Amino acid sequence: MAFDWFKRKAQNITTSTDDKKDVPKGLWHQTPSGKVVEHEELKKNNYVSPEDGFHVRIGSAEFFDILFDDGKFTELDANVESIDMLSFKDTKSYTDRLKEVKAKTKLTDSIRNAVGDVNGTKLVVSCMDFAFIGGSLGSVMGEKIRRAVDYCIENRLPYMIICQSGGARMQEATYSLMQLAKVQSKLAQLSEAGLLYIAYLCDPTFGGITASFAMTADIIMAEPKALIGFAGPRVIRETIGRDLPEGFQTSEFLQEKGFVDFIVKRTEIKETVSKTVNLLAAKA
């Protein structure tokens, strides 16, 4: 009979929890505008919602897969890790915080270096991971950028930093702030060597990173509607005592004011970067 399932007595109409088939986590994604996108469709579109153009926050693994040909690259300086040089403690010790975030993210710090081909053009890319303590700038990020720049100079390669960070890492105090000068001095050497530096600003890019190397690139690109600034809008509003302009601290606002050169969708970043590198290399 077609309806024999309705007569079953052993399990009745109730199925045990163990036998229930839950929908896999991450199968769907809802954007801030309420649009619902299937995960596979989102992945195929470089994690940009085809419904409303919203750029879902991604990490270095996804960015490297998007940028490098066939997703193939060589990671540089993978074993450089943060340590608790100040024995810092807030609600928990910095040592415990590092252990937890490393276990959760499977990352060693908030930035990764890689070298590979982007549409056949070799490029060194440093990409921040917001999932690792908010992509914060610490001694390891500064050191990894320093090593990436040295690699570029030694091998005569262009350089790109993908920025997504809340700013300096408070648990490293002055050691974190010292990285600003350290990175800027290395980027000056890169410029003196006649090599290109591209910054791609993603949501969010804040604090000391915005105040330094995110804004000193030869070419500054940004994702659509990315939030970019030094201090947050509430702090600025209270400091100046007036309302802020519409769209304040968005990449579009900064482009209008001359701080950003291009707004580049993530679906177009690979082509735009390779064309930029080849164009400027031909003029060098």
Number of domains in the chain: 2
Residue 158 has pLDDT above 50, yes or no: yes
- Does 108 share its domain with 191? yes
pLDDT (tens digit per residue) in 241-262: 888 888 888 999 999 999 999 9
CATH number at residue 162: 3.90.226.10
pTM summary value: 0.86
Name residue 121's amino acid.
Answer: T
State residue 120's pLDDT score: 96
Residue at 77 is within a domain: yes
Residue at 13 is within a domain: no
Residue 78 has pLDDT above 70, yes or no: yes
- Does 115 share its domain with 34? no
Q: Determine the average pLDDT of the residues in 10-39.
A: 62
Burial class (CB in 10 A: 0-12, 13-18, 19+), 251: buried
> Reading across the β-sheet that carries 159-165, which strands appear in turn?
74-76, 111-118, 121-128, 159-165, 197-205, 219-222, 262-263
- Does 50 share its domain with 94? no
Tell me the average pLDDT of the chain.
88
- Does 219 share its domain with 208? yes
| 243 in Cβ contact with 179 (< 8 Å) | no
Beta bridge mates, 165: 205
| 126 in Cβ contact with 162 (< 8 Å) | yes
- Does 37 share its domain with 148? no
CA 71/CA 279 separation, integer angstroms: 23
- Does 105 share its domain with 187? yes
Of the candidates 160, 163, 147, which has an alpha carbon nearest to the alpha carbon of residue 274?
A: 160
- Does 32 share its domain with 72? no
CA 200/CA 219 separation, integer angstroms: 9
- Does 146 share its domain with 258? yes
Could you tell me how many residues make up the chain? 284
Domain that holds residue 29: 22-55
* SS3 letters across 163-191: EEECCECHHHHHHHHHHHHHHHHHHHHHH
User: For the CA atoms of the chain, what is the radius of gyration?
Assistant: 22
- Does 181 share its domain with 217? yes
- Does 137 share its domain with 51? no
Residue at 231 is within a domain: yes
Provide the Cα torsion 177, 220, 124, 271; round to 10°: 150
State residue 224's pLDDT score: 96
- Does 90 share its domain with 79? yes
CA 233/CA 229 separation, integer angstroms: 9
Residue at 3 is within a domain: no
What is the 8-class DSSP label of residue 80? -
State residue 1's pLDDT score: 46
CA 108/CA 162 separation, integer angstroms: 17
Residue at 29 is within a domain: yes
18/232: higher pLDDT: 232
Write out the two tokens for 222: 């940004």
| 134 in Cβ contact with 109 (< 8 Å) | no
